[in-house]
Structure 1
Amino acid sequence: MANEIVVPILPCADIDEIVDFYRMLGFELTYLQQRPYPCAGVRYGDADLQFAGIPGFDPEQSYGSCIVAVDDTAEIFEEFAAGMRAVHGKLLVAGIPRITRPRKRKNADGASGFSVVDPGGNWIRVFQRKDTGADTTPATEPLARALENAVVLGDSKGDARQAAKILDGKLTKADAATPVPALVEALVYRAELALRLDDPGRAEELFARLDALDLTDAQRASLAESLATAADLRKQVSSER
């Protein structure tokens, strides 16, 4: 066989809510009907998704999921994030719906990935293709390895509490010998987990620890993405205070 196209049909409770959500992210509507049963189709580039409205459906109980393979997860994330910020004024990082940030995924051979959890509780898992030449070298330093494990639990499984527990154990042991890049990335991700767990006080503690680091200009340049994420998270904490 060749040239086959597979389109997932995912569940939701409210078809209009699903359509509005995906339009916010930049998808185009390809189909919509309300009777004899609610369903809709959306498209982003060459990726098609369809949805079936199910009265009384509980998004918290959804097992709906699909994988979207792309060349550049960062570019697509920024487009989704821009749409979300335009509507909500911030990224939705907790509850349903929500979005995670692109990070290397240990459970995807080190490829970058992020997830969108839509109003139906469906996980749209966006992964970088493995033939793009991106660095997928596994971590060797203990804190960096802990971060990889935490990302799998927090971003792939959705278990923010266990992910936080893993990082807290290693962050407690971090000292002057801990590589700065690993420490910065772990602190920033742990702060994001704190927001998912509705613990802004813990996030502020982590930001204070981040601020106490004496970073060189070269380190700031190499960690620009993580530091930008931290700045974005700080704004969110401040806006919700």
Structure 2
Amino acid sequence: MSGAYTIPLLPCRSIDETAEFYRMLGFRTTHHQTRPNPYIVMAREDWQLHFFGVDELDPETTYGTCLVFVPDTGVLWDEFAAGMREVHGKVLVAGIPRVTRPRKRANTGNRAGFSLTDPSGNVIRIFPQQEDTAEPEAPQGKLGKTLERAIVFGEAKGDTAQAIKLLDSTLARSGAEASKPERLDALVYRAELALRMGDNEKAAALLKEVERAELDEGEREAAAGAFATAAELAKLL
């Protein structure tokens, strides 16, 4: 049947807390009720999220999640980040709530998606509507291949600890053998994981190592994305 659509219903521990969080991101409240049960509807342009109140909800263990496909994840991430900076003075990358950065992942059709975790622990997984049809360049070395795996653990599975374990092990064993741009990509992502774990000291040390890297013109061009991400992460320290 044409014209059918679905709307995600997600649990929340407080409809007021949830509404405040999503308003920060550019949503508006289109429905709010407290009786017979707590329920709100948050809308942003053409999409909406519905939330129902659940007593004793644990944000650390909830399984609430949904997929959202948008024309441009980079533009949306920038808008979310601007809202967070306006309210909190920084992008929330650690703890709950938080947002990850858009990254292409090997297990999602090379889509550059990101995840938003709200105060109740719901994970809104955001991807571009179109796959990147350009064939991604396969990583040549051990570190590049490990980085791909670490991104899947850190972003798709939310297993930051395992992503850190993978990267630290390969950086220690094979980091010196990697190309400089590949090593910088790994160091920057490791710094992001450190921030996610609240380890600002580790993140600062990694970003300092990135800053001190000596590269020729070609290597610097290849590492432009890593340097841009490092500069953004440095603002969070």
User: Structure 1 length normalisation: TM-score?
Assistant: 0.91
Separation in structure 2 between the aligned mates of residue 217 and residue 21 of structure 1, nearest angstrom: 43
Closer/same/farther in 2, CA of residues 143 and 29 from structure 1, 3 Å limit: same
* Equivalent runs, 1:70-89 vs 2, <5 Å: 70-89=70-89
Structure 2 gaps, min length 5: none
Single out whichever of 16-25 and 142-151 deviates more from structure 2. Answer: 142-151
Q: Percent identity?
A: 46
In the alignment, residue 3 of structure 2 is paired with which amino acid?
A: N
In the alignment, residue 58 of structure 2 is paired with which amino acid?
A: D
In the alignment, residue 175 of structure 2 is paired with which amino acid?
A: A
Closer/same/farther in 2, CA of residues 202 and 132 from structure 1, 3 Å limit: closer
Aligned to 1:155: 155
Aligned residues: 236
Structure 1 gaps, min length 5: none
Question: What stretches of structure 1 move > 3 A for 4+ residues in a row?
Answer: 130-141, 216-225
Shift of 1:160: 1.0
Single out whichever of 137-146 and 11-20 deviates more from structure 2. Answer: 137-146
Shift of 1:157: 1.6
| CA-to-aligned-CA distance 1:90-130 (integer Å, 9 cap, x gap) | 11111110000000112212211100000111000001223
- State yes or no: 1:49 paired with 2:38: no
Shift of 1:61: 1.7
Alignment partner of 2:107: what SS?
Answer: helix
User: Structure 2 length normalisation: TM-score?
Assistant: 0.92
Pairwise CA RMSD: 1.8
| CA-to-aligned-CA distance 1:180-205 (integer Å, 9 cap, x gap) | 22211111110011112222222122
Shift of 1:23: 0.8
Separation in structure 2 between the aligned mates of residue 21 and residue 58 of structure 1, nearest angstrom: 17
Answer whether contact 1:110 1:137 (CA < 8 A) is retained: no
Single out whichever of 68-77 and 196-205 deviates more from structure 2. Answer: 196-205
- State yes or no: 1:9 paired with 2:9: yes
Alignment partner of 1:174: what SS?
Answer: helix
In the alignment, residue 226 of structure 1 is paired with which amino acid?
A: A
